[in-house]
Amino acid sequence: MLLKLLYTRGSLHNQPQGEGVAFSLKNRLDTVKVTGFRQVQIGDVVIPAEQIEVDMGGGERRPATAIDAAGQAVELPVGRALTVLLAMPPLAEGIHQVQFWFTTDAFGELHVEVEDAIVGAGNQKPRIPRSEEDDYSEAAIAARQRFAEQFSEKEFKHLKHYSFDAHQLQGNCEHFMGVAQIPVGLAGPLTVHGEHAQGDFLIPMATTEGTLVASYNRGMQVLNLCGGVKTTVIGDAMQRAPVFVFSDARGARDFGRWVEANIDRIRPEAESTSRIAKLQYIDTYLSNKFAFLRFNYSTGDAAGQNMVGRATFAACSWILENYKETKIEHFYLESNFATDKKASQINVMRTRGKRVVAEAVVKRDVLMQRMRVTPEQLAYHGQVSNVGAFLSGANNNGAHSANGITAMFIATGQDVANVSESSAGVLYSEVNKDGDLYISITIPSLIVATHGGGTGLATQNECLQMLGCVGRGTVNKFAEIVAGVVLAGELSLGAAISSSDWVSSHEQYGRNR
């Protein structure tokens, strides 16, 4: 079941001019050395090693008979792809059973069996140009630009211009052909009193929504006049949630107990894949005949979804090999229980990414002079809006944290789809004994990074530099800054709605006509 992941689905094809058949393999499991290709079988046709070549990329090909354990092994680190070339007649259109036998240094002889299809030329759409040698070269990019213009019958004057070396995009963007230029506005500086972020921070916000930057800037000014915002990271965990299927509920229950008893044996298997990922604990949730395991990791300065996926895969491989008490009917690495890229109640309760709180005391006179509302009006408005959130079925009561988070995510190279989880905000306010407004927001699933992903790209890294969030150990600092920005936005919008300034502000600064 796991070995099928080596095969690249959709890669089976007839080579040009009747030169044979080919398919691709990619190591998605663990670093190994391939020590031999014994044979391939497609349908009833057996192709021996003498009729197999392996294309290792970069123009290097090697006969399968020249691959052996005695100094001729092929290094296959995680992520490397190989193309297997078969000297055989072309295959007919349709689905074919593909089997191949090979050996590795770590696992001995392996056998993989999959299905793939040959698609007829008449069913194929025009293909986006790409270069096997260097898909980020100027020539490859220019070919895609011409293709896009010819396909759409339009000329693009702005998409094609960018200021960085496209090779930096490897691992971030496939089929690269240009850039979407998003305006970046400045808000702040915002005074933050965190455990990691301390001082004044100028906030880059990438957006096309009128009044957004102005609104957040207004909220920051008010917070600064009241001494700034206090921020605290109170939780940190990134998840992957596999599911194991059994024949009955009792099998799932017994498996859950076994996992709990063997956590100290599972942990080193998971952590063997990364020097950063650390397995904190595993939650077990049982339903019907399913055992859902929620693996919880710390991931350093990276957001860590890919990191924990690989770690959990290694852990589950060990579990599948060592659990003997009850037959595991099915296994899926992700069950949808981690709720990756989706808002969920479990992440509000249990944390995903960083759990961070921003809070401030807003002085009565500042609130009345700058926002034209009293603390009592704003606190009462919060109670009313809580009823609206409850009736709507929303899983949080924040006003618009997605606005500020998205603008900062785009500016700093975060995975923007994580806004779906990160924007959940639990807002609370009260009038304190001095007649001032205490306001705080808890962001229970803020998924941010200062390393990896898009954070190292040209403009994105410059925005992180502006915040002083480049280098080891800066992710909690960035999380605290984001939380402070969110609180500024909640304060500004809440006051604008309470004082009826909301529509007039959009009329003045936005593009409503």
Token duo for residue 406: 């998205």
Three-class SS state of 223 = helix
Of 337, 323, 331, 316, the residue nearest 261 (C-alpha): 323
**Helices and strands (DSSP H and E) totals, the chain:** 13, 20
Q: What is 290-312 written as a DSSP string?
A: EEEEEEEEE-TTS--HHHHHHHH
**Distant-in-sequence contacts of 418-421, Cβ < 8 A, 24+ apart:** 418/303, 418/341, 418/353, 418/447, 420/341, 420/342, 420/343, 421/339, 421/340, 421/341, 421/342, 421/343, 421/344, 421/347, 421/352, 421/353, 421/445, 421/447
Catalytic residue among 135, 269, 359, 415: 415
- Give the residue-averaged pLDDT of 261-288: 94
Report whether pLDDT(508) > 70. no
Q: What is the pLDDT of residue 232?
A: 98
Are 102 and 76 spatial neighbours (Cβ–Cβ below 8 Å)? Answer: no
pLDDT tens-place string over residues 177-207:
999 999 999 998 999 999 999 999 999 999 9
Q: What is the pLDDT of residue 81?
A: 84
Most confident option among 92-96, 225-229, 450-454 = 225-229
Residue with tokens 């009329």: 507
Q: H or E stretch including 486? A: helix 475-498
Task: Say whether 506 is catalytic.
Answer: yes
Q: Collect all residues with Cβ–Cβ distance below 8 Å to 392 and sequence separation of at least 6.
A: none
Task: Say whether 400 is catalytic.
Answer: no
Bridge partners for 356 per DSSP: 233, 443
pTM for the structure as a whole? 0.82
Token duo for residue 460: 């994105």
- 30 — pLDDT class (breaks 50, 70, 90): low
Catalytic residue among 55, 68, 209, 254: 209
Cα–Cα distance for residue pair 424/426, rounded to 1 Å: 7
Catalytic residue among 13, 193, 381, 506: 506
Report whether pLDDT(513) > 80. no
- 2 — pLDDT class (breaks 50, 70, 90): low
- Give the residue-averaged pLDDT of 293-312: 92
Report whether pLDDT(382) > 60. yes
Q: What is the rounded average pLDDT for all residues in the chain?
A: 90
Report whether pLDDT(503) > 50. no
- 121 — pLDDT class (breaks 50, 70, 90): low
- Give the residue-averaged pLDDT of 323-343: 91
Task: Say whether 209 is catalytic.
Answer: yes
Report whether pLDDT(92) > 50. yes
Cα–Cα distance for residue pair 81/77, rounded to 1 Å: 9
- In this structure, are strands 290-298 and 243-245 parallel, antiparallel, or unpaired? antiparallel
